[in-house]
Amino acid sequence: MAFVEPTADVSEQAFIGHGTRIWHLAQIREDARLGENCNIGRGAYVGPGVEIGPNSKLQNYALVYEPARLGAGVFIGPAAVLTNDTYPRAVSPDGTLKSADDWTPVGVIVEDGAAIGARAVCIAPITIGRWATVAAGAVVVRDVPAFALVAGVPAKQIGWVGKSGHPLRPDGDELVCPATGERYIKNGDTLKEAPTV
């Protein structure tokens, strides 16, 4: 069973997984799908039709606009924003107020295990690769590879991280996680887990 604070606004058309907790003033819109054991912080917003995988966490005031898709174990930091409008305008060129039919929303995809730091902004359409980390305050305008660490405005890759989130260290031809000992192999601009013996 899910836990929903009385002050949260959760659509009856939303699907909320078992064990998910939704805190004060959060808003979950119609047709959103939240997996099991998610944690949705105070004042967070989840747009219509957004999909969030199990064991994911949205910190306070995170804004996840439709049609975003978040994998399992995703972390969205406080006040981070996942946008959905490539060319935002309140009005059309003739000055008339735009309606929902006057634009096509595009989403941010965040793959399994990835983390988006506090107040980071991800400009759709982009994909944040699995286990990647976006530093606090970064503005991401292009795809982020799996296990990449990106920072800055606009965000640039500054290193690689393992599943623990710690920066990886070189060890011969491989990279190693100082926290877990897991090993990774770099291939051009990509990183993959080294096969275990």
| Predicted confidence (pLDDT) per residue in 162-172, tens digit | 999 999 999 99
Q: Residue 197 has what pLDDT? A: 67
Q: Residue 100 has what pLDDT? A: 81
Beta strands in 1-105 (DSSP E): 3-4, 9-10, 15-16, 21-22, 27-28, 33-34, 39-40, 45-46, 51-52, 57-58, 63-64, 69-70, 75-76, 81-82
| Predicted confidence (pLDDT) per residue in 80-104, tens digit | 999 999 889 999 899 999 988 888 8
Collect the ranges in the chain with pLDDT lower than 70. Answer: 197
Going along the chain from its start, the domains and CATH numbers come out as 3-161 (2.160.10.10), 168-197 (no CATH)
Query: How many CB atoms sit inside 10 A of residue 48's CB?
Result: 16
